[in-house]
Amino acid sequence: MENKIFKTLRVVNTLLIVVVVCFIFTLLAFAMMPSQAETAAAGATSGAVAVAAAPAALSAEATKGKEIFTNNCAACHASTDEVVVGPGLKGIESRRDAAWVEKWVQNPQKVLAGGDKYANDLFKKFNGTQMTAFPNLGTEDIKNILAFLKESNP
């Protein structure tokens, strides 16, 4: 009889220890979870596509550029120096002038076929990934995108 009682007590003690340990781990998990504000802030800066946090007040051109960038470029490019599918575009205005960027954006295959060294080096660096042509983006659109990139990366 005593043996059965001791066995029962051991089982009860073991179960009690397991329950207490699970409770402690649950409390720790909740304590380590980010708050709603932290989650929202992290969600705004994470994901496949990175767009630099814009300054409080973008110029009218940069605001238009941000919209154009978001709708056309952000699937493959970050406005920072982060690589997504293609290179990050932070500082592009120091690497290429607006006229080159416009030609590239409107018809990258033509620029590559023309033997442009920078374009071909970029093409090789990104394993032959072809950039989508955006013939619908004009000079003003490109200037606005460049304004956005410059203003969002002070």
pLDDT of residue 19: 57
Query: Residue 137: which of 124, 146, 129, 150 has the closest Cα?
Result: 146
pLDDT per position as a tens digit, 26-80:
555 555 555 554 544 454 444 445 555 544 589 999 999 999 999 999 999 999 9
CATH classification code of 60-152: 1.10.760.10
Going by pLDDT thresholds of 50, 70 and 90, the confidence category of residue 142 is very high
Cβ-proximal residues to 96 (8 Å cutoff; 6+ apart), any chain: 104, 118
- pLDDT the model gives residue 34: 59
pTM: 0.63
Question: What are the b/e assignments for 92-109, b being 16+ CB within 10 Å?
Answer: beeebeeeebbbbbbbbe
Q: What residue has token string 């709603």?
A: 36
Query: Do residues 127 and 120 lie in contact, with contact meaning Cβ atoms separated by under 8 Å?
Result: no
Structural domain boundaries in the chain = 2-33, 60-152
